[in-house]
Amino acid sequence: MEKKWWQDKVAYQIYPKSFYDTNGDGIGDLPGIIEKLDYLKELGVDIVWLSPCYRSPLADQGYDISDYYDIDPRFGTMEDMDRLIAEAKKRDMYIVMDLVVNHCSDEHEWFKKACKDPDGKYGRFFYLRDKEDGKLPTNWRSYFGGPVWEDLPGTNKQYLHVFHKKQPDLNWENPELREEVYKNINWWLDKGLGGFRIDAIINIKKALPMHDYEPDREDGLCSINKMLEEAAGIGEFLGEMRDRTFKPHDAFSVGEVFNAKDEELPDFIGDNGYFSSMFDFNETIFGGSEKGWYDCKEITPDDYKRCCFETQAKMGDFGFVSNIIENHDEPRGVSHYIPEGDCCDTSKKMLAALNFMLRGLPFIYQGQELGMENVPFKSIDEVDDISTLDEYKVALDAGLTPEAALKAVARRSRDNARTPMQWTGEENAGFTAGTPWLRVNSNYTAINVEKETIDPNSVLNFYKKLIALRKDPEYKETVVYGALEPFMEDRHNLMAYYRKGDKTLLVVGNYQWDEQEITLPSECKKVLINNYPDMVLDGNSVKLHGYQVLVVELA
């Protein structure tokens, strides 16, 4: 694998709506991101991915774009965006935007024109089917619930939407549509963007001609995944997009790729892959249930370890995966991957190190560096997210009581990660001088940037140490590129692995409160990371404290 400019970096995801509000309207904005660039620089961040801030009705918080060439006024102006790119550049940082091109908003010009003239040029930008009484074109279930078909206003047709009905799918089979997409990507890259995170991309290829599949729930519908399994040939679109956009700009691209087949991975992220990298979702999808995500199983430490190692093994050395513990669609990693009741600064640091030291590109989601936690939702009225509200209905329909349904969706709700960033212990966590669009997590007086910056033992300062190790000229080669090999893989509640480069490092996490003893394979030369003040060593034998994590250099 040849080395690329972005591989030794540290990436950070911003959810603009909840990051920092400068004008008191309760909504985070681009000037707010500019103000906090120094905070990110100080943390050690190089690449900043912004969730969408294009013009949008915000039905799905910006993942429904009505103008790909404009900034939504709630986030700022195009001048703000240009300034953000320039200010980032001054600090040797890269701005990465979200590319949402499986669908647009139903308020986009293209869609409006398609409604006026469904048989014309813009009708062919979407998937339209004639309406037949009492029968849908297919029985596919949208990710956000209900059928994927909706009446095309003012016509006798229906349009396809695999997400919300305000997100009509774009027809990638149409070369004219693809040209529009490439033109837009290049327009942004020419402005000086570092690249794109590519949203929901696996959905752009539909199995054609469309047909029904065996229903998998009582609603008579079937999961989109059945159709995607059958859809072959996505590579033609992705290869074309790469050649026409990312490649000539040497841009960074990271795909939101679910369900890629193992044998296709080199095509996706090998040396001439469609993307630079893709996220590892192996842990996040663990425990999935046919009934819906409200029903998914909890993940144990041993499962978590297995999922991480599975991905690492699949990547071998041809690909460079992007590692996460959370994002804007997931619960907070510390609430998800640390067994209930065990979540505290010590265990948060353990999880941080175990994830951060994996081979690949680490992404930190805003607030993760503080150890931000899930929200204790008391009522469904506190939820804003369309996906959670929909899933709540699915759970009720399946016979759960309202209390049980709330509990079931609360653990995985996307709003867990969308509460405002906790900057200070002051009102609204210092996020806004107005009323925040989504309530602030009540633990903000204990968990915030101001407090953690001055506490040498904070989660924030632990992240800084991890980042510093990745950037240390002496260890960088090994931490960034070194091979990963599991160590004592079968030991219960222990996650441990080697990183082998020009040095040999061992990462060890005791994933429980009970102490456990391990024997180092060779002498410990140096302790590089430790979430305890001490390390109990007797010869080569180490007695690990509860949730202790160590990164040591071996002789």
The rounded distance, in Å, linking the Cα atoms of 350 and 345 is 9
Nearer to ligand TEU, 328 or 499 (CB): 328
- Collapsing DSSP states into helix, strand and coil, what is residue 64? coil
Place of tokens 């989660």: 459
Under the binding rule (CB under 6 A), the answer on residue 9 touching ligand TEU is no
The rounded distance, in Å, linking the Cα atoms of 62 and 100 is 9
Among 19, 143, 309, 356, binds ligand TEU (CB under 6 A): 143
Cis before residue 420, ω within 30 degrees of 0? no
Residues 442-481 that bind ligand TEU (CB under 6 A): none
- Give me 53's structure tokens: 């801030």
Under the binding rule (CB under 6 A), the answer on residue 63 touching ligand TEU is yes
Work out what residue 305 binds among Ca ion, ligand TEU, none; the CB cut-off runs from 5 to 8 Å by kind: none
Nearer to Ca ion, 202 or 440 (CB): 440
Edge to edge, what strands does the sheet with 157-160 contain? 128-130, 157-160, 149-151
Under the binding rule (CB under 6 A), the answer on residue 390 touching ligand TEU is no
Considering the candidates 60, 72, 106, 199, report the single residue annotated as catalytic.
199
Under the binding rule (CB under 5 A), the answer on residue 280 touching Ca ion is no
Under the binding rule (CB under 5 A), the answer on residue 23 touching Ca ion is yes
Distance in Å, CB of 332 to ligand TEU, minimum: 15
Q: From residue 174, how far is each of 150, 400, 552 by CA, in Å? A: 21, 44, 54
Q: Which amino acid is at 207?
A: A
Under the binding rule (CB under 6 A), the answer on residue 163 touching ligand TEU is yes
Among 15, 29, 196, 549, binds Ca ion (CB under 5 A): 29
One character per residue 407-426, x = contact with ligand TEU (rule: CB under 6 A): -------x------------
What angle is formed at CA 384 by the lines to CA 378 and CA 390, rounded to 5 degrees? Answer: 90
Taking each helix axis from N to C end, the angle separating 234-241 and 175-190, rounded to the nearest 10 degrees, works out to: 30
Which one of the spans 20-28, 142-150, 210-218, 463-471 is the region binding Ca ion (CB under 5 A)? 20-28
Which one of the spans 22-30, 266-274, 276-284, 419-427 is the region binding Ca ion (CB under 5 A)? 22-30
Find residue 485's DSSP bridge partners: 498
Pure H helices in 104-243: 109-116, 175-190, 224-230, 234-241
Distance in Å, CB of 329 to ligand TEU, minimum: 4
Under the binding rule (CB under 5 A), the answer on residue 21 touching Ca ion is yes
Cα 542 to chain centroid distance, Å, stands at 35
Q: From residue 491, how far is each of 335, 428, 518, 538 by CA, in Å? A: 23, 44, 10, 20
Report whether 35 contacts 22 (CB < 8 A). yes
Place of tokens 């929200």: 375
Under the binding rule (CB under 5 A), the answer on residue 35 touching Ca ion is no
Work out what residue 72 binds among Ca ion, ligand TEU, none; the CB cut-off runs from 5 to 8 Å by kind: none
Under the binding rule (CB under 6 A), the answer on residue 60 touching ligand TEU is yes
One character per residue 78-117, x = contact with ligand TEU (rule: CB under 6 A): ----------------------x-----------------
Among 67, 107, 180, 329, binds ligand TEU (CB under 6 A): 329
Work out what residue 143 binds among ligand TEU, Ca ion, none; the CB cut-off runs from 5 to 8 Å by kind: ligand TEU
Full DSSP string of 313-347: HHHTTT--PEE-S--TTS--HHHHHS-TT--SHHH
- Give me 514's structure tokens: 């009970």
Work out what residue 60 binds among ligand TEU, Ca ion, none; the CB cut-off runs from 5 to 8 Å by kind: ligand TEU
Is 199 one of the annotated active-site residues of the chain? Answer: yes
Is 42 one of the annotated active-site residues of the chain? Answer: no
Work out what residue 21 binds among ligand TEU, Ca ion, none; the CB cut-off runs from 5 to 8 Å by kind: Ca ion
Which one of the spans 18-26, 256-264, 310-318, 356-364 is the region binding Ca ion (CB under 5 A)? 18-26
The rounded distance, in Å, linking the Cα atoms of 349 and 357 is 12
Cα 132 to chain centroid distance, Å, stands at 39
User: Among candidates 11, 34, 8, 9, which has minimal Cα distance to 21?
Assistant: 34
Report whether 338 contacts 351 (CB < 8 A). yes
Under the binding rule (CB under 6 A), the answer on residue 364 touching ligand TEU is no
Nearer to ligand TEU, 331 or 509 (CB): 331
Considering the candidates 29, 64, 150, 256, report the single residue annotated as catalytic.
256
Among 18, 22, 171, 387, binds ligand TEU (CB under 6 A): 387
Distance in Å, CB of 420 to Ca ion, minimum: 11
The rounded distance, in Å, linking the Cα atoms of 22 and 53 is 15
Under the binding rule (CB under 5 A), the answer on residue 27 touching Ca ion is yes
Length of the chain: 555
**Under rule CB under 6 A, how many of the chain's residues touch ligand TEU?**
13
- The residues near 464 (Cβ < 8 Å, ≥ 6 apart) are 43, 44
- The residues binding Ca ion (CB under 5 A) are 21, 23, 25, 27, 29
Q: Which residues are catalytic?
A: 199, 256
- The residues binding ligand TEU (CB under 6 A) are 60, 63, 100, 143, 163, 199-200, 256, 258, 328-329, 387, 414
